Each structure stands twice: as structure tokens, then as C-alpha cells.
Amino acid sequence: MITGNFPEREEIAQLTARMLLEINAINFNAVEPFTLASGKPSPTYIDCRKLISFPRIRSMLMDFLTITVMRNVGFESFDNIAGGETAGIPFGALVAERMALPMTYVRKKAKGYGKNARIEGVMSQGQRVLLVEDLTTDGGSKISFVNAIRETGATCAHTAVIFYYGIFPETEITLQKHGVKLHSLCTWWDVLAEAKNQNIFDKNTLLEVTSFLNSPEAWQKKHME
């Protein structure tokens, strides 16, 4: 069981950003932008899946995520922890272990055979479920997972992620409209601040990243022309 003696939110954000940079989970490239799942360009890319290969950092971030949820929601507010397929599954298991709660996971879509279930593990009607994922951009996949959880008769009013883009204002509004509160450890703004503090990237790259974060749609449109 985890205790409540942890850094405040601002320090957690800074430390999380530092850890992500240390393991090269953060990538900035303004010369040859990355292509996102949406097909749009971006000078930033994050790979939270790398965290599972770094035990010390992984453990600390899971402690941070657990205490963040407990502080924000309560210490006895959940009955089940659900990881989203696939990146959220290991993090869901690690948070469930820390909170001494059952763990389940949610498929992106039904298997198409057998019981055709989207929920794996045991989830019961009336259970209060916390959805755990690695990150969120616009919140779309979270809503799909939440709907699958609610179809079991359980409730899901909270989702916790390690990383939140923090550059699309509609994300939290969309989640709120579906009755879901987002909890996260850090955003691109925290990463950018730490990258500047450590002088990791060159000035031009940081300027391009700042431009993108301030107006992502305008930056993408410019680089798609």
C-alpha cells in the first residue's frame, strides 16, 4: 500500500518530464517532422511504452500516478483498475497492485469469437472503475474504453494517464461531457520547460516545438502544404 508522502503536483510534473527525457521517450525534430496516427505532421513524438523497460523510473512514475489519483479522488474511491489495450495494460496492472485492487483490461474492439468480450478479467455491476492508459491526445479512445466499461454495469468517472498532450483545449471538455475526469502527471509544456532547462535540444528546434504547442493546427497546416 502506498503512502501519501510524495511531492506536490508541480514537482511531480517536472520529475516526470525529466524521466521521460532521460530514457529518450521524448523526441523533437522540426526538420523531419513525425507522422502521427492521424496522418498529420508533428515536431514532437512521445513513446511511453519504453517505460516498461526501465524498472526504477517505471516504479516511481506508477507511484506518482497512484498518489495523484488518490489525492484528487480519494483513497477508497475505486473497486477495479482497468488498463486500455495495449499500452495501458502494464500500467493498469502496476497501479492495481499499488492500490490493492482487482485488475482488468479493455479491448479496443471485441475479439469476434468466443464470448466476444471487450472486458478481460472480472468486472462486476456497480464497481467503480479507474481507467489507466499511457497517454491521451484528444480523449477519443478513452471514451470508447469507458463506454465498454459502463456496458458491464460498472461505473467509470475517472481516467489516469502518465502523459497528457495539454495542447488541445477540447480534450478535457469532451471527456467531461461523457462524465469522465482526466488525471495526468505531465504535459508537453512540462517537457518543453525541462528540455529548455537541461539545454538538450538546439534553439531552432525548441522554437519550432513552441510554435507547434501554441497553435498545433496552424503548424500542421503549414507543414502539410
CA gap 222, 33 in Å, rounded? 12
Structural domain including 196 reads: 9-216
Flag whether 223 is in a domain: no
pLDDT in tens, 40-93: 899 999 999 999 999 999 999 999 999 999 999 999 999 999 999 999 999 999
Across the range 108-131, mean pLDDT stands at 89
pTM of the model: 0.94
Number of domains in the chain: 1
Flag whether 4 is in a domain: no
What is the Cβ-side half-sphere exposure of residue 13, based on CA atoms within 13 angstroms? 17
Across the range 104-120, mean pLDDT stands at 86
Type and span of the H or E element at 106 = strand 103-106
Flag whether 192 is in a domain: yes
Flag whether 207 is in a domain: yes
CA gap 149, 167 in Å, rounded? 27
Flag whether 1 is in a domain: no
With a CB cutoff of 8 Å and minimum separation 6, the contacts of 126 are: 153, 154, 155
Tell me the CATH number at 29. 3.40.50.2020
Flag whether 222 is in a domain: no
Flag whether 20 is in a domain: yes
Burial of 157 (0-12, 13-18, 19+ CB in 10 A): middle
- pLDDT the model gives residue 140: 81
Flag whether 2 is in a domain: no
